[in-house]
Structure 1
Amino acid sequence: MTELAIETHGLTKRFRAQTAVDGIDLAVPRGSVFGFLGPNGSGKTTTIRMLLGLVGATAGQARVLGGDMPRALHDVLPRVGALVEGPAFAPFLSGAANLRRFDAADRHAPPATRADRVAGALDRVGLAHAARKKAGAYSLGMKQRLGLANALLMPRDLLVLDEPTNGLDPQGTREVRSLIRSFAADGTTVFVSSHLLAEVEQLCTHVGVMSAGRLVAQGTLEEFRRSGESRVEVVTPDPGPARATLERLGLATDATGPAHDSDAAASDALVTARFTADDGIDAGAPTADAIVVALVADGVRVRGFAVRRTSLEQRFVELTGEGFDVVA
């Protein structure tokens, strides 16, 4: 059984008449980069605040790094680095001075090595050159990096990052993505909240999708790539036999239309069939190769063949609605 860094059961948060988080069951494997996706206002940040003990749950349970939250708060939080709802720093202090203040507030951080920890964290996020610059003069992207540096002052088993690339230019975004990958390579579990599909595609091994306070789906990124409805497309001058073969294989065929491929002959038709991961190719029968073999065996002249899978963008829109921001 996979060991979990974060586990919730029926986790719920209500604010008077409004249910912000509605009975979610999260399962975040240790060592994963878990993308927590959903539109703004879907309950992601409220969930994170409950996981970190910043707000109490109305109902349900949450376990973080094996400890029941918030009861195990004092044992768990020293092992967690977090950047939630954007970084906040004293604007009149330098970046290094801000980190020294945060480090000094950590009762588990040895004072003798504070200077080395601060310098190392700043260097890791690319801010060594701005260590003495006042935080008030930092750009939004630099403040975001300083927030990451704060989360890295001590070794962490879990990093919780809320919109970690917010405000970063393309180069800064690439650097932060590289940092997150390096954290995971070192064995740290990274929990990334985002509303940007492209960010999650490039970063994450696992995904959970929130919509209107509910966890509507979760699993590995590959499972999401294979989920949803996809299509088999066959270009052939034998549409009738092709349809018969596809239906014999258990695929639901659509109306036959003209082939739009520039290489297709005038007599060619496009035959399409739909399948899902539960009942089609990805369930193990039939495979794409098996479909082509069956078509040829039945005397169908195959001029073109393709499997068109539902894109991640389409899948997330299906789960969360048209209002989901899927643009990087």
Structure 2
Amino acid sequence: MSAVAQAPARPGDSGLPGSELAIETHGLTKRFGSQLAVAGIDLAVPRGSVFGFLGPNGSGKTTTIRMLLGLARASAGEMRMLGRPMPTDLAHVLPAVGALIEGPGFTPFLSGRANLLRFDAADGWAPRRTRRARVDRALERVGLTQAAGKRARAYSLGMKQRLGIANALLMPRDLIVLDEPTNGLDPQGTREVRSLIRSLAAEGTTVFVSSHLLAEIEQMCTHAAVMSAGAIVAQGSLDELRAGGESRAVLTTRVSDADTAAAVLRRLLHRDDDSEVEIEVRAGEERIVSAVLAPDVPPELIVRELVEAGVAVLGFAVQKTSLEDRFVALTGEGFDVVR
């Protein structure tokens, strides 16, 4: 589905109030009979951000987006978009929002350009005199100028995705909502969509991107929320999400020094249990000794104490928890990290 609602106000002229948040929800809930699909979530999407809505398939992402855009009725909770209550002010908000939800849908026997012209004509506030220029500009932005005259039924899945994004960009938008925007794209197309999303954010547009691909979120987004089984289990800037994980001190030393090194780490890092300091066997005469860092123990102190204890420090590093490790720890589920 790819559509933008008509309304009695033009984007930019609608008097939408200023707010630090482009999307805000409190206790947003959706039930389908006895099934709880979205479990009272609190979303906070800063204006001007590229916000990643991350979670395994079936975690409630698309259902949440459908409620935000008035395509599904919430069972409970409150929503605000661009500073206005939803769905009360749906007619004022949606002209400033472009969306690509659950894949694009086009008339197959019409060309890509003709499809966009029809969608634009359905928008009562899109100026007719600049329609063709705006359609051509949108096609150019998503890299479909050369294929604009081809019938939509001949488009690949990736081309249809880009045509759907072009539809969301026909008019200036304050907020763009994209559900799995790189689905079906080849590596070059994926890079182009990433670049497009960054350029939209640079122009001041807030971009809300739903994805189950961790690598896409890491490369495109400034902020993210992690969904699992209908609930948000983490939310914030990417740096804040990374900081929520543990860091490990990882030492490479000789076999003969491994036990001494482990004893030093236990003492400095307050690890009473032997299992909290790991000794990994490596080929030859080397061992890897590691432990979770304590926040009050600087790495340089550890290295100094190791040297003073006579340990041969062949290598030392602080390994921070990756976003992948962090998210798996939060959700108990894996994410696709490669295409």
TM-score (norm 2): 0.86
Residue in structure 1 matched with residue 297 of structure 2 by the alignment:
286
2: CA distance, partners of 1:127 / 1:307: 45
Please say if residues 245 and 294 of structure 1, whose CA atoms lie closer than 8 Å, have aligned partners that are also in contact. yes
User: 1:65-102, CA deviations, whole angstroms, 9 ceiling, x for partnerless residues?
Assistant: 11111011111111111000000011121111111111
The correspondence for 1:197, drawn from 214, 219, 242, is 214
Deviations 1:43-63 (A, max 9, x none): 000000011111111111111
Q: Where do 1:57-136 residues align within 5 Å?
A: 57-136=74-153
Of stretches 132-141 and 162-171 in structure 1, the one that deviates more from structure 2 is: 132-141
CA contact (8 A) 1:251 1:273 kept: no
Aligned pair partner of 1:319 in 311, 316, 330: 330
- Cross-structure match for 1:168: 185
Separation (CA, whole Å) in 1 of partners of 2:138 and 2:60 = 30
Which residue pairs with 1:246 in the alignment? 265
Structure 2 CA distance for partners of 1:240 and 1:60, relative to 1, 3 Å? same
Q: Secondary structure at the match of 1:201?
A: helix
Query: What's 1:271 paired with?
Result: 289
1:229-256 superposed Cα distances (whole Å, 9 cap, x missing partner) = 3321223455565445434544537345
Q: Which residue of 1 aligns with 2:157?
A: 140
1:217 aligns with 2:239: no
CA contact (8 A) 2:324 2:335 kept: no
Question: How far has the Cα of 1:307 moved from its partner?
Answer: 1.6
Contact 2:53 / 2:211 at 8 angstroms: preserved in 1?
yes
Query: Does structure 2 conserve the Cα–Cα contact (< 8 Å) formed by 1:53 and 1:73?
Result: yes
Note the residue ranges of structure 1 that are not aligned, 5 or more in a row: none
- Whether the 8 Å CA contact 2:56–2:334 is kept in 1: the answer is yes
Match of 1:9 among 15, 19, 26: 26
What 5-or-longer segments of structure 2 have no aligned partner?
1-18
- How many residues of Structure 1 are paired with residues of Structure 2 in the alignment? 316
Q: Does 1:19 align with 2:32?
A: no
- Does the CA contact (< 8 Å) of 1:235 and 1:259 recur in 2? no
Q: Give 3-state SS (helix, strand or coil) of 1:89's partner.
A: coil
Structure 2 residue aligned with 1:150: 167
Structure 1 residues 88 and 256: alpha-carbon distance in aligned structure 2, compared to 1, 3 A threshold: closer
Post-superposition CA distance 1:174-201 (Å, at most 9, x none): 1111111111111111110001111111
